[in-house]
Amino acid sequence: MDKIFNDKIIINLNRVLREDESIMEKELLELFINLQRKKFRNYLRVNSNVLLNIVSIFSGKQLEAERCSIAITKVIDFLSKKVYACPQSVSTHIGSFNENGIIINDQKVKEYAKICAKKINVECFDCDMKYICSEGCVLETKQNNCKESTLNTLKIILENFEIFFN
């Protein structure tokens, strides 16, 4: 295979600004595995909360159930010229930008900061998977199958251990 990237380029696969038809974490990890097997190993990273939490466990770091940085993070979509308060939800539109600058609706940012101060969906507090799960967004109602989804994601990671941890 010809070298198509220089050694400084890293591609991060991420579920950004997802909508109903976007891929799920399991599909994102499967894409990552397939690309890794095609010799892109040195150029790819994948953003998966389950994977990041497993790495934290192996590293001896303390796990936290919170996973939200809404209203702290600003995501700029260059295609639509919109600004979002959350990297994972198109419903968090807080502004726009053009060649003259960025316009942010401060009131919307404050509302998101207040909503998300709890950082975890209330339905997740008693769940035994809350420390490794990628679900539990405070903007969404908890999915009935998130335990199953988390276990399936964990299974993919562990079955492909050499790809994720080599």
Please state the domain count of the chain: 1
pLDDT, tens digit (0-9, with 9 covering 90-100), for 29-58:
898 898 888 776 667 788 788 888 888 888
Q: Is residue 16 part of a domain?
A: yes
In a domain, 3, yes or no: yes
Domain assignment of residue 70, yes or no: no
Cα distances (Å, whole numbers) of residue 64 to 17, 140, 144, 150: 23, 19, 22, 16
Q: Containing domain of residue 57, as a range?
A: 1-63+145-166
Tokens of 28: 């994102």
The label of the residue with tokens 């003259």 reads 100
Q: Does this model's pTM top 0.85? A: no
Residue 97 is assigned to a structural domain of this protein: no
Over residues 116-140, the pLDDT tens digits come to 766 666 777 788 888 888 776 767 6
Residue 112 resides in a domain: no
